[in-house]
Amino acid sequence: MRQCAICGKQPAVGNNVSHANNKTKRRWMPNLHTVRAQVGAVSRRLTVCTRCLRSGFVSKRAVRTPAQA
pLDDT of residue 68: 63
What is the per-residue burial (b if ≥16 Cβ within 10 Å, else e) of 8-17?
Answer: ebeeeeeeee
**Longest alpha-carbon distance in the chain:** 65
Block means of pLDDT (10 residues each) for the chain, 69 residues, are 92 98 97 89 90 87 69
The CA distance from 50 to 37, in Å, is 14
pLDDT of residue 18: 98
